[in-house]
């Protein structure tokens, strides 16, 4: 893939390896990088205060502005722009209703990408199916034995890795849909009611044990995803250095 800005490779993987987690929420992505990259230091940035954030440093403010001002200071940047305006329900099923009541959502993938490319640093942008991220990698909870499916796509900037195998799902997501109740090995970690997951169930299903905030737990990325991304990036960087 090509980049409008020359992406500078991380040389010799110096410690501490500095990662920026933009739109970090409570740090589901942060925790994965801390598990997957030895000697990592992770800074989170979010427009809301995040008292449960699990990283090494936190900045409350606009993520895009922070990337523009400080992104070049990091070795790798992860960004998870808000997904509420990106998924199929917002663009399709709920589009007319949202228009009627004047509900809008920010569309931040394109400006986030532009800010990331300008840093010259390798990066990843994560978002939901139906979003505008390039579909370089797709991850699913079943790949990691989790209790959620939660398919997510990852756009890779300045590096590449192979798509991991996607195993067959073991059954339904538990809950009531269209008046029909189904049991299954996965929980629905979004909204409430209709058999949706409790705080305890989301914590267990996603592998998040440092927060009890239902809303933020629902929003958080399972750490297993970014642990995999972090390890994959290190492998690609080491191969390039060896070459």
| Residue-number span of the structural domain to which 74 is assigned | 17-166+221-242
Interatomic CA distance for residues 121 and 71, integer angstroms: 8
pLDDT band at 192; cut points 50, 70, 90: confident
Confidence of residue 4 (pLDDT cuts 50, 70, 90): very low
Is residue 173 a part of any domain in this protein? Answer: no
Give the per-residue SS3 of 48-90.
CCCCCCCCCEEEECCHHHHHHHHHHHCCEEEECCCCCCCCHHH
Q: Say if 9 falls within a structural domain.
A: no
Number of domains in the chain: 1
For residue 207, pLDDT beyond 50: yes
What would the pLDDT profile of 100-127 be if each residue is shown by its tens digit? 666 566 889 999 999 999 999 999 999 9
> Do the domain assignments include residue 195?
no
In tens, the pLDDT along 39-55 reads: 999 999 999 999 999 99
Among 102-111, 172-181, 190-199, the range with the most confident prediction by mean pLDDT is 172-181
Query: Given phi > 0 = left and psi -120 to 50 = alpha, else beta, which region is 84?
Result: alpha
Q: Which residues contact 232 (CB under 8 A, 6 or more apart)?
A: 161
Q: Please indicate, yes or no, if residue 172 is contained in any of the structural domains.
A: no
Domain contains 97: yes
* 71 in any annotated domain: yes
CA angle 143, 144, 149 (to 5 degrees): 65
Per the confidence metrics, is the pTM higher than 0.75? yes
> What tens digit of pLDDT does each residue of 53-96 get?
999 999 999 999 999 999 999 999 999 999 865 555 544 454 45
Q: What is the CATH number of the domain that holds 238?
A: 3.40.50.150
Domain-located, residue 193: no
Q: Residue 2 has what pLDDT? A: 40
Residue 1 lies in a domain: no
């Amino acid at each position: 893939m090509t980049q409008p800005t020359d992406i500078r490779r991380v040389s010799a993987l110096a410690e501490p390896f500095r990662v920026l987690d933009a739109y970090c929420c409570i740090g589901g992505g942060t925790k994965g990088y801390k598990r997957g990259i030895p000697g990592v230091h992770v800074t989170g940035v979010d427009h809301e205060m995040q008292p449960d954030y699990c990283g090494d440093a936190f900045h409350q403010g606009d993520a895009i502005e922070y990337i523009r001002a400080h992104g070049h200071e990091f070795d790798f940047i992860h960004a998870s722009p808000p997904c509420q305006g990106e998924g199929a329900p917002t663009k399709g099923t709920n589009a007319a209703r949202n228009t009627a009541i004047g509900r809008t959502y920010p569309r931040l993938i394109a400006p986030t990408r532009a800010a990331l490319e300008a840093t010259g640093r390798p990066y990843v942008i994560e978002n939901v199916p139906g979003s505008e991220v390039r579909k370089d990698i797709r991850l699913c909870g079943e790949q990691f034995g989790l209790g959620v499916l939660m398919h997510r796509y990852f756009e890779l900037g300045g590096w590449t890795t192979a798509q991991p195998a996607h195993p067959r799902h073991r059954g339904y997501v538990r809950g009531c849909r269209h008046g029909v109740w189904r049991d299954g090995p996965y929980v629905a970690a979004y909204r409430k009611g209709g058999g949706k997951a409790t705080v305890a169930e989301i914590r267990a299903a996603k592998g998040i044990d440092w927060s009890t905030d239902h809303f933020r737990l629902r929003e958080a990325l399972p750490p297993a995803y970014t642990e995999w991304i972090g390890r994959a990036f290190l492998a690609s960087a080491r191969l390039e250095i060896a070459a």
